[in-house]
Amino acid sequence: MRTPMIAGNWKLHKTLQESSGLVTELIPAVADNRTVEIVVAPVYTALSKVAEVIAGSNIKLAAQNCHPEAQGAFTGEVSPALLKDVGCHYVIIGHSERRQLFGEKDEFINHKARALAVAGLGIIFCIGETLEEREGGQMFDVLRRQIRYGLKQLSADQMAGVVIAYEPVWAIGTGKTASDVQAQEAHAFIRALLAELYNVQVASATRILYGGSVKPGNIDGLMTQPDVDGALVGGASLNADDFARIANFQPPG
């Protein structure tokens, strides 16, 4: 059985006070939820404060990015060791915004993945196709490339710390969401690819999240799909009531 994960990516939002207030609201709203792994990813400057507020709760901390090197002349960057030191359990890498806006390539993302695995941090590894790639029939080729090169040299044992987040780029922040069937199709392909690259055991154990305009109104349907193991939530994670409803999803039946 794969434990569902609901992770909130706050992106570039929330001051220290606002971050503290958001998790203070969230804690009691999800306190009784012991069947879902709940994760929040604030901005770097709020990580320490949020870690302090959520201590002792059932909410875990993630960072939105990292640099693969442990230390050195890398002005403005933050290493896996520093993120672990501040209390992070997970780090998000490969997000489409990092790929598109900051030009991050599969090789660099893979460098991060290997560094995080060595540091003992969990990895939320994002992949996904653009609308142009989907309409051009390239979706599966894109996902295959991103997984093959992004997870290169990670062992089967290290894959135990990897969570994959499928985020169709055309659905991020657009209000458009992949249908339940579209999400399941992509997730099933990803799981089959993991079986090919690793083995059936790794494929069966790896959690695959859906991301792309996830809201309280669509989470229940998404979670009925056999290969959807949770969600990476953007805008809706900035509201405690909305994010709690998503974390406390109620699949019909």
Q: Which residues are catalytic?
A: 95, 167
Is the separation of the CB atoms in 214 and 222 below 8 Å?
yes
What does R_g of the chain's alpha carbons equal in angstroms?
17
Q: How far apart are CA 253 and CA 247, in angstroms?
A: 17
- Paired strand residues for 165: 126, 209
Beta strands (DSSP E) in the chain are: 5-9, 37-41, 59-63, 90-93, 122-127, 162-166, 207-211, 230-233
126: tokens are 């994002």
Count of other CB atoms within 10 angstroms of residue 21: 14
